[in-house]
Amino acid sequence: MAGLLLTPFYAGLTVFIYVLLGLIGVPIFAGLTGGFQSVLKPRFGFLIAFIIGAAFISKFAHGEKNFGKIMVVLVLAEVIFYVIGLPYMYYILNVVMGKGMDISKVFSVGMIPFIIPDIVKAIVAAIIAPRILKAIK
């Protein structure tokens, strides 16, 4: 949502500050966790991707009113999230944690369960973001 409501710089900065707060120990990550050890968790790559994704979304969809255009940008952002997050997850699970998990298993735990919820959230964001921007102007 930050990418749809903020300029690229502020969208990226907002998510960067969120990640930074989590890294310094504020329990704001999934499961109310935080701390620098979070970089060794399989899902941390997605947090990195969210910084890039927020700026990407803002660059191409900030202020956009067309639902279809917003959805295209949000779907492309999802690709960014998975392209960065899944290899990071694979590396942490296999190299750092020694789990011996093949790529299909990483996809089944790191992507498949999230596709439908991500699409639903994208649809909701694409519907409400233009209304929020209109209301605050």
DSSP 40-106: GSTTHHHHHHHHHHHHHHHHHHTT---HHHHHHHHHHHHHHHHHHHHHHHHHIIIIIS-----HHHH
Q: What CATH number was assigned to the domain covering residues 2-136? A: 1.10.1760.20
Domain ranges of the chain: 2-136
**pLDDT digit string (tens) for the chain, length 137 residues:** 899 999 999 999 999 999 999 999 999 999 899 999 999 999 999 999 999 999 999 999 988 899 999 999 999 999 999 999 999 999 999 999 999 999 999 999 999 999 999 999 999 999 999 999 999 87
Query: Residue 31 CA to chain centroid, in angstroms?
Result: 16
In this structure, the number of other CB atoms found within 10 A of the CB of residue 26 comes to 14
Q: What is the pLDDT of residue 136?
A: 87
Q: What are phi and psi of 30, to 5 degrees?
A: -50, 140
Q: Which residues sit opposite 29 in a β-bridge?
A: 33
Whole-number Å distance between alpha carbons of 16 and 90: 23
Whole-number Å distance between alpha carbons of 74 and 38: 26
Q: What is the pLDDT of residue 63?
A: 87
Whole-number Å distance between alpha carbons of 7 and 59: 7
pTM above 0.85, yes or no: yes
Tokens encoding 82:
């998975």
